[in-house]
């Protein structure tokens, strides 16, 4: 059986990111790393974060983990999370 042929979409619009405020709860670590100002805040508050998230086993999962989800593994502390959130909020919205 051959695969069906579909005509191209007539009014396709590529997806676009909506602006949002970065946070330690909802934003994956990989996204925080891609925003230099945000990652500078994280590194300032958690100096060992590069070492703790740089392992080959965790690197593929940084798009799924938020900083808050790393609390249970002891990678970050609650007080650092609160300080980071306040500073990320001050940065405003990002796409």
pLDDT in tens, 41-90: 999 999 999 998 888 998 999 999 999 999 998 889 999 999 999 999 99
The pLDDT of residue 73:
87
Residue 56 lies in a domain: yes
Is position 6 within any domain? no
Range(s) of the domain holding residue 40 = 28-94
Task: Tell me phi and psi for residue 82, to 5 degrees.
Answer: -65, -40
Q: What is the pTM of this model?
A: 0.79
71 in a domain, yes or no?
yes
Is residue 40 in a domain?
Answer: yes
Domain count, the chain: 1
Specify whether the CB–CB gap between 47 and 71 falls below 8 A.
no
């Amino acid at each position: 059986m051959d695969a069906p042929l579909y005509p191209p979409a007539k009014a396709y619009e590529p997806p676009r990111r909506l602006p949002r405020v970065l946070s330690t709860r909802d934003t994956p670590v990989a996204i925080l790393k891609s925003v230099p100002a945000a990652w500078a805040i994280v590194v300032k508050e958690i100096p060992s974060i590069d070492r703790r998230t740089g392992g080959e086993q965790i690197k593929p999962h940084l798009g799924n983990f938020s900083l808050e989800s790393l609390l249970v593994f002891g990678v970050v502390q609650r007080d650092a999370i609160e300080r980071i959130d306040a500073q990320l909020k001050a940065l405003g919205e990002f796409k």
